[in-house]
Structure 1
Amino acid sequence: MKHLLSILLMLLTMNAASMNATPTEGKTSVAGFFPLNGSGRIVYNFNQGWRFHLGDAKGAEATTFNDSKWEVVCAPHTVRLEPSEASGGRNYQGVEWYRKRFRMPKDMLGKDATLYFEAIMGKQEIYVNGKLATSHLGGYMPIIINLTQCGVKAGDECIIAVKADNSDDKNYPPGKKQAALDFCYHGGMYRDVWLIGKSPIAITDANEQNSVAGGGAFLHFDNISEKKADVYVNVEVGNKSTATASPTVIVRIKDKGGKVVATMKQKISVAPKSTTTATPHTTLRTPHLWSPESPYLYDVEISVVNGGKTVDGGILHMGIRNAEFCGKEGFWLNGKPYHQLIGGNRHQDFAYVGNAVPNSQQWRDAKRLKDAGMTIIRAAHYPQDPAFMDACDELGLFIIVPTPGWQYWNKDPKFGELVHENTRQIIRRDRNHTSVLMWEPILNETRYPEDFALKALDITHEEFPYPGRPVAAADMNSAGVKDNYDVLYGWTDDIGKEGTPENKCIFTREFGEMVDDWYAHNCLNRAARSWGEKPMLTAALSLSDTYGEMFHGQRQFIGGCQWHPFDHQRGYHP
């Protein structure tokens, strides 16, 4: 059995392991951009060749530490192969170490080199050549290490050491003990790792810059119709050199066939050790509008040209669509009433390998959900892998992106501040995804103070201040929500009740969870395949009946998400 599990792990990680240590190709986005040939930006896959140790190891951050007996692993990596049913807090919880020795490639000469971890579960300490580079709390957002600032140059030998810990910790979200939580914090370096080389004059990273609605590239729109659409591309360019630079930002929009349909150019001045934002814009005539039925994506090629040479750039996938939430008139898409949104909640874990799901499986999950007829996914209860977001854009799935949390509140003000910081980072990471329809900036099924909810709403508006922004959604009866949030989580029965606003749309975030009993054969909507055909059919009919009860023509009720399309590991219960 152990041998079979090892084979499964190898197959699941093969997608990441097979990529060459050269600039990325295909449909893999890196730090928000798809690679643009000839841009001057260098991207290496950094997943391979990590030494791994399960448990703590005193002194493992030191350059002289002997890790020769440690296992060699590849990211995405899980710290331990778990049983197919690892709920009830049975998954590994504790410290683990990763170490990698490498020589900085020679083509990084003159580049600003950063290490980009898409996510590592829990809390982390990352060391570069024996010195602490950063400490980080949280298991769902990127961690960026500037190796150049750490003194690493082209040709240098370098050792990266990562200490991670996915054990219970009430001080940062989600905060709740895993034995009582509705999902597992499977440990490990479970998403991709990239080595990125950028010129001194280059597009910044939004989360690294940490400025409100700033940094990186930011697509936004206005006046969208079938006749035209105004397209804006904010591009922040940083200058790490010692002289003022005058680069030109060039934006080319290409249709699906590769034809250039618009070109924008703007010359800017960037002082040393400073940044400047270019704001090129254009109007597209008769644009192809994005919808779940026709998920049309343009390529937006962004280049930074300095001294006649392209020094940086990347590609964004751009869908143009206009979403409106019209209260009693329901949800409108691209100027027309849209049918009710039917979808499901999705957790990121997979049997045996926990959270270490490769990009191919992220796409496979999205494809299965789309093929099942879904039009919207709620990312329960945290931001998903960038590959899953890319898949939703391309396949035509709306997505709701929540901040990490579930049924837990810590009165320490630092906890709420970390929730808000997560929300800002989520919006900065995912703001260019056409699929994002709603943000969920509060803690799910949690009692929190009203000022927290109102601050969370303000953050969504601050970080996306342009027309047509994704709206904020939260539980209707939570403090501060009913009178202020854009979309209210509730039920069809709430419509027409005293206190339910007529100008707000209602959406059911979770439906179909009838019985929380896996082992007894009385569960209407959770049937094991081994139980046979009749229980499986009963489960399917139960969910079908639930759909019918919910969707009975009231436009103010705009849809809902089933709990849960895929089996997943629950912390508190099998």
Structure 2
Amino acid sequence: MKYTCRHLITLLIPCVLLGASTSYAQNKPAKLISLNDQWKFSKDQVAGQAPSPNLSWGNFSIPHSWNTTDVMDDEPGYYRGTGWYKRKLKLDASLKSKEVFLAFNGVNQETEVYVNGKLAGTHIGGYTRFVIPLRGFLNYKDDEVQVKVTNRFNEDIAPLTADFTFFGGIYRNVELMVTEPVHFSKNDHGNSSGVYLTTPEVSKEMASVKAKILIENASAKEIKVQVHTALTNADGVVVAKSTATLTVPAHQKSTFEQDLKNIKSPQLWSPENPYLYRVITQLIDVKTKTVLDQVSNPLGFRWFKFDAEKGFFLNGEPVKLIGASRHQDYKGMGNAVPDALQIRDVELLKKMGGNFLRVSHYPQDPQILEACDRLGILASVEIPVVNTITESAAFTENCKNMQVEMIRQNFNRPSVVIWAYMNEILLRPKFTDDKPRQAVYFKHIVTLAQTLDSLTRKEDPSRYTMIANHGSFDSYHKIGLTKIPMIVGWNLYSGWYSGNIEDFGKFLDRHHQELTDKPMLVTEYGADADPRIRSFSPVRFDKSVEYAIRFNQVYLNDIIKRPFVSGAMVWNLADFNSETRAETMPHINNKGLLTLGREPKDIYLLYQAYLLKKPFLKIASGTWKIRTGVADSSKSFATQPVQVTTNQKTAELFVNGQSLGVKDAVNHVCSWEVPFVNGLNQLKVTSAAYSDELDVDFTLQPFEFSDRQVPFKEMNVLLGAKRFYIDNTTHQIWMPDQPYQKGSWGYIGGESFKGTNNRMSYGSDKNIMETDNDPVYQTQQVGIKQFKLDVPDGEYELSLYFAELIGGVTKEALAYNLDNNHQKEIVRQRIFNVSINGESFLENLNLAADYGYTTAVKKSTRITVQGGKGITLDFKTIEGMPVLNALGLRKIY
């Protein structure tokens, strides 16, 4: 198998900053200079060929996005329009004899670059690097660069729709490149190395390297040059070299190849030993002996194959690929994420024990694959042809260009083993009411897939091609999309978006039986996990961490035990922004193993237990440091489960110094029923010489209010719910409701709210306005008659929480819900009264009319309880059925 890797331009001389400009000392040209600072930005609705007059310009640094806040507010949509960036460049006159370029690593999604008011270059596509030559546009005195950017919808540019946000702006690094007139190519579809490396021969005994080198002569004279290429090991020792001489005509480009042969006993690159060589290529003027240009590329010797029966092999050894997909946004930053945080994502994947990264659904920052090379993470990369296509020549050409840019910019990456080009392309099929027209549309999809697959194999015969499909086997197989790529990827969500969790293994077996010659990957799987939501009886769609743990255990077990499954990438490494989503955490898809701010969830710990080879032991409920619960009968403790993730066979748990015994690990989890007492509970788990500790602050609720051993202070109850909710801002814990029990508390009458579709069997998935605590309002008791609390005499603060969950703006159902039988909501008038201990509190309460649909409503009051009457809430119907979403009670004295 051949090897590939990507360039790394050597930084030579730093720039000197003078005020708001960048200045270069004479005879000291820089190869690569960051231009991230001193930019000005303004939105511009006009979108002309120059900024509108009288714009309000602000000072910004790159990376930058104009959508970091509007994607998180409750207003539907976000700014998809035009913005202008501008920056001064003060270049020394000595640079008139040099070639000057601007390199943009990522701008979303259409770009026009103007220099001194003249159009210097354009680019289409938001996720690949592009380079703009500046020679001929500069005055070398007081130059100004203006960049027009738009992230508007354009039917000829992918992606058209997707479950992620299309942030606008110059959101990756910007660089200035300065070269001699004769140099390695700086603009081969965004590749600024000009050197492409392959390894025609790789084994444990011997290896060879072939370098394809692109040289440009921008001068008016032909020049004789020497090309010197050296392979150095990790210690800097030259292990192979080659030198050749050629003549490059004036104003011409030349392509030249060099071979490095007979490299004995090469160190092989692998996840366990990501050994990197360097290939240093120099361009030397034969006459003056001057080094005109130099580039350095990493190189890793490895060979690999995917087998439909036996899975993936690296360097002749079977390797199960387990890892994650990744989106590039970060909490509070959108896509404008600094290098250090980009690299940290790959480090977190490695720390988890993962060995594969699906770079989805678009090429990402160069730092990502550089980190994969360095850390030993295998990878796939894809262009953003997601959900649907446009049947136009322009769309096809843009896709082809994106594919070529992706391949050439990342060609020299040992980590990359797969190029992909489509994701869930039949998820939102057009022309559903016109089957003949739909058949034509499907033919266009197949033609585009064949075009991109052939293009990819021609560009890089050494790697595999792949399409990632959603879980409709028959749809993709029928039109032939399973036959085109070398690997078929499946995005499977049995037990979440569709079907039962047990269907997952059956789907894998079906592929193996019907596509006997086609290697497969599970390119996506996952379940939402809101780290604020916990449950002792987890069910589908409750968004609890516990359901996600069970879901991933089943999937991992089915993946690992089937050799023909080459690997799987959980969806997703971290939560990511999806502006159109609502659910418990609006505008965020929270299937991540990490939060949007990269805090680990319990499922991340589960993956460490499954994948790490060194001993691992961790209390999985480490994010659940504050708890509450009702005491067991008249006892002064509440028994609740605690899970520990581990790769050890057994573990022992101690609570407040007392052992709860040794438990066997089942699917890498040990579980205990823990008697939590009021106040601080110290947990310690041990296994052999390893241990982990956690302090849990527990608020014990009395079994009966008359119990003096457990004095009542405060409680917060979710109606119609079987889950706990942790408000991290106020440190309040919300617990599930219960039917009324004499001497205690609970509801009387009614039933839990169920949504208007068969999929949403748990509460509502709508965005609740005017609150960040959506789970408090997304469940409710419908038709409630009473809520009673048999509290002792005293002064109390009572809060009632309401939201009308039926009605309002009808949103398109998520296309990912494959068994979604969405029924039209029947909106009925709902008017009711609420009284407290016989006294009227809320009259003619009409939530929709008075406050609006799906809007948080909180009503609080103080109550003096006397005569042993406790608190009784009565709900009286005027029209429709009364509801109560949540209740809070706090004793004052």
Q: Describe the SS at the equivalent of 1:168.
A: coil
| Bigger RCO (CA 8 Å, 6+ sep) | 1
**What are the Cα deviations for residues 64-122 of structure 1, in whole angstroms up to 9, with x where unaligned?**
9777x621111011224427946985443222111111212455342110111111112
**What are the Cα deviations for residues 437-464 of structure 1, in whole angstroms up to 9, with x where unaligned?**
1111234433652221111110111111
Which of 184, 207, 212 aligns to 1:234? It is 212
Which of 451, 459, 466 aligns to 1:455? It is 451
Cα contact 2:386–2:422 (8 A) shared by 1? no
Which of 525, 529, 534 aligns to 1:511? It is 525
CA distance, structure 2, for counterparts of residue 245 and residue 361 of structure 1: 44
Which of 535, 549, 564 aligns to 2:572? It is 564
CA distance, structure 2, for counterparts of residue 253 and residue 329 of structure 1: 35
CA distance, structure 1, for counterparts of residue 402 and residue 208 of structure 2: 30
| Other-structure match for 2:146 | 161
| Other-structure match for 1:287 | 266
Which of 405, 408, 423 aligns to 1:428? It is 408
Matched, 1:203 2:184: yes
Aligned residues: 523
Cα contact 1:346–1:566 (8 A) shared by 2? yes
Counterparts of 1:34-183 in structure 2, within 5 Å, are 34-35=9-10, 37=12, 42-56=31-45, 61=50, 70-82=57-69, 85=72, 90-106=77-93, 108-150=95-137, 152=138, 155-176=140-161, 181-183=162-164
Counterparts of 1:413-492 in structure 2, within 5 Å, are 413-446=393-426, 448=442, 449-465=445-461, 468-475=462-469, 477=476, 479-490=479-490
Matched to 2:555, the amino acid is: T
Q: Which has the higher mean CA deviation after the structures are superposed, 217-226 or 406-415?
A: 406-415
Matched to 2:570, the amino acid is: Q
| Other-structure match for 1:548 | 557
More strand by share: 2
CA distance, structure 2, for counterparts of residue 386 and residue 88 of structure 1: 34
Q: Which has the higher mean CA deviation after the structures are superposed, 404-413 or 84-93?
A: 84-93
Taking only aligned residues, the RMSD between alpha carbons, in angstroms, comes to 3.0
Q: TM-score scaled to structure 1, two decimals? A: 0.84
| Other-structure match for 2:8 | 33
Q: Describe the SS at the equivalent of 2:373.
A: helix
Distance 1:49 1:206, change over 3 A: closer
Distance 1:405 1:208, change over 3 A: closer
For residue 515 of structure 1, report the CA deviation from its aligned partner: 9.0
Q: TM-score scaled to structure 2, two decimals? A: 0.55
CA distance, structure 2, for counterparts of residue 99 and residue 79 of structure 1: 15
CA distance, structure 1, for counterparts of residue 308 and residue 539 of structure 2: 33
| Other-structure match for 1:304 | 283
Distance 1:89 1:170, change over 3 A: farther
Distance 1:538 1:516, change over 3 A: closer
**What are the Cα deviations for residues 286-321 of structure 1, in whole angstroms up to 9, with x where unaligned?**
111111111111111111011311001111111111
CA distance, structure 2, for counterparts of residue 86 and residue 230 of structure 1: 55
Q: Describe the SS at the equivalent of 1:234.
A: strand
Distance 1:196 1:364, change over 3 A: same
CA distance, structure 1, for counterparts of residue 49 and residue 397 of structure 2: 32
For residue 418 of structure 1, report the CA deviation from its aligned partner: 1.2
Matched to 2:39, the amino acid is: W
For residue 472 of structure 1, report the CA deviation from its aligned partner: 3.6
Distance 1:395 1:420, change over 3 A: same
CA distance, structure 1, for counterparts of residue 539 and residue 198 of structure 2: 44
**What are the Cα deviations for residues 550-572 of structure 1, in whole angstroms up to 9, with x where unaligned?**
221x3221011111120100133
For residue 191 of structure 1, report the CA deviation from its aligned partner: 0.3
Distance 1:238 1:440, change over 3 A: same
For residue 470 of structure 1, report the CA deviation from its aligned partner: 4.1
| Other-structure match for 2:239 | 261
Cα contact 1:525–1:543 (8 A) shared by 2? no
For residue 254 of structure 1, report the CA deviation from its aligned partner: 1.3
Cα contact 2:363–2:382 (8 A) shared by 1? yes
For residue 507 of structure 1, report the CA deviation from its aligned partner: 0.5
Matched to 1:186, the amino acid is: F
CA distance, structure 2, for counterparts of residue 566 and residue 61 of structure 1: 39
CA distance, structure 1, for counterparts of residue 75 and residue 311 of structure 2: 40
Matched to 1:457, the amino acid is: D
CA distance, structure 2, for counterparts of residue 286 and residue 526 of structure 1: 54
For structure 1, the residue ranges without an aligned partner over 5 or more in a row are 1-30, 529-534
Distance 1:542 1:434, change over 3 A: same
CA distance, structure 2, for counterparts of residue 378 and residue 408 of structure 1: 20
| Other-structure match for 2:306 | 325
For residue 232 of structure 1, report the CA deviation from its aligned partner: 1.0
CA distance, structure 2, for counterparts of residue 525 and residue 565 of structure 1: 21
| Other-structure match for 1:19 | none
Distance 1:344 1:107, change over 3 A: farther
Matched, 1:246 2:224: yes
Identity rate, percent: 26
| Other-structure match for 2:252 | 274
Cα contact 2:538–2:547 (8 A) shared by 1? no
Which of 384, 388, 393 aligns to 2:368? It is 388
Distance 1:76 1:249, change over 3 A: same
| Other-structure match for 2:328 | 348
For residue 238 of structure 1, report the CA deviation from its aligned partner: 0.9
CA distance, structure 2, for counterparts of residue 326 and residue 556 of structure 1: 7
Cα contact 1:87–1:569 (8 A) shared by 2? no
Cα contact 1:231–1:281 (8 A) shared by 2? yes
| Other-structure match for 1:24 | none
Cα contact 1:518–1:526 (8 A) shared by 2? no
For residue 205 of structure 1, report the CA deviation from its aligned partner: 3.1
Matched to 1:267, the amino acid is: T
**What are the Cα deviations for residues 524-554 of structure 1, in whole angstroms up to 9, with x where unaligned?**
79998xxxxxx435433432232112221x3
Distance 1:83 1:556, change over 3 A: same
Distance 1:76 1:301, change over 3 A: same
More helix by share: 1
Matched to 2:270, the amino acid is: S
For residue 371 of structure 1, report the CA deviation from its aligned partner: 0.7
Cα contact 2:103–2:176 (8 A) shared by 1? yes
| Other-structure match for 1:16 | none
Q: Which has the higher mean CA deviation after the structures are superposed, 107-116 or 80-89?
A: 80-89
Matched to 1:452, the amino acid is: L
Cα contact 1:436–1:470 (8 A) shared by 2? no
**What are the Cα deviations for residues 239-272 of structure 1, in whole angstroms up to 9, with x where unaligned?**
1112222211111111111111111112122111
Q: Describe the SS at the equivalent of 1:279.
A: strand
Which of 337, 350, 353 aligns to 1:373? It is 353
Distance 1:368 1:469, change over 3 A: same
Matched to 2:551, the amino acid is: S
Which of 194, 197, 200 aligns to 1:219? It is 197
For residue 156 of structure 1, report the CA deviation from its aligned partner: 2.6
